[in-house]
Amino acid sequence: MSAPPENRFPSDLYGGRLTIDVDAVSQNWRFLNDRLNGNSECAAAIKADAYGTGQREVGQALFAAGCRTFFVAVPAEAVALRQVLPDAIIYALNGLLPGTSGAYLEHDIRPVLGSLAEVEEWTGLCKASGRSFDAAVHVDTGIHRLGLSPEEFTRSLGDPGVMGPFVPSLLMSHLACGSTPAHEMNRRQLDLFRDVTAPHAHLPRSLANSAGVLMGGDYHFNVVRPGISLYGGQAIEDEPNPMTPVAKVEARIMIVRDVPEGDTIGYGALHTAKRPLRNAVVAAGYADGMLRRAGSTDERPGGFAMIAGHKAPILGRISMDMITLDVTDVPEHLVERGAYVEMMGPNVAAADLAAYADTIDYEYLTSLGRRFERVYAPLT
């Protein structure tokens, strides 16, 4: 296995290992791309360091697989991506921050204009130059975050005095409830987006995130923007996840110890041993992205790890640097000091962990591995 340059120390000095399979990311992109008709392009959202998996490595792998359009959040991410993908189309979803238009033009980055003030600033730039600089325009269809209101969108795009020479390279909106396809909000947003952009249907349009891709062709338009599905996450709730896992988190065992029945485990004494236990303490905690909320108490179970096919429940609170696992029923030779334990990966889905932590797999992925050795290799 090969390690990227940011690993500054020998493997033995890390308490855990984050393995990322960029070929699996490409496989997931091809799976989604194959669901589109010939009129739609499959782009990729690689914001937040490609959901924690490495923007540089993932971006290069996806470009090699055929992806040509990428979405990040902030201009700094876009500039960093441009350094490794000189020929890609790159959009910054968070729009045009004050004073940044020069950097967008210098690095050929396309802002997603999400307010009337941003549209006016960008069109002013185009008017002053007498040419159209590429940018997307975001219309809010009900999520009430970024985006022009439908009225602002209609008024602005229909007024040559506002637009000047500017011709948007993309018109887009964002689904609020894609993870639950039966939610009426999806159809409402689809209908509004279709209606408000109909006078400009000659321009490329984009509505679908990962869930929108899986929801079918009505949502695909010209460009789809999958994110979580590329990284093996579950885009649609309560349905089988068709995506391939791309990341595996392993933590090393520091100590194995016996805990008598009736003793408590971890901070707050929240978990009481109901029988004599054998515990393994591993070198991972919430500082490594293993969320504190997935710990256990006497009232509710916590998450779990896997050791060679054996489930090892989390016992007590997850602390900053360590987690206690119940390995009572795991063969002793598998839980020796220094051995690796799978905390998340092919056998411990991020969505399963997220359910114990009352969150979503996005939060797990984007928080991972600040102190782990990072390895790019197939998951084994």
Catalytic residues, which ones? Answer: 47, 267
What's the Cα-to-Cα distance from 59 to each of 22, 137, 302, rounded to whole Å? 9, 24, 35
Per DSSP bridges, beta strands 277-282 and 323-326 are antiparallel
**Residue 187 class from Cβ within 10 Å (0-12 exposed, 13-18 middle, 19+ buried)?**
middle
Instruction: Give the span between the Cα atoms of 379 and 115, in whole angstroms.
Output: 43
Angstrom distance (rounded) from CA 235 to CA 5:
32
Query: For residues 95 and 80, what is the distance between their CA atoms, to the nearest angstrom?
Result: 16
177, 237 contact by CB (below 8 A): no
Strand 110-113 and strand 89-92: the pairing is parallel
The b-or-e profile of 338-375 (16+ CB within 10 A means b, else e) is: ebebbbbbbbbbbbbbbebbebbbbbbbbbbbeebbbb
Running DSSP on this structure, what letter comes out for residue 70? Answer: E
Residue pair 110/135 in contact by the 8 Å Cβ criterion: yes
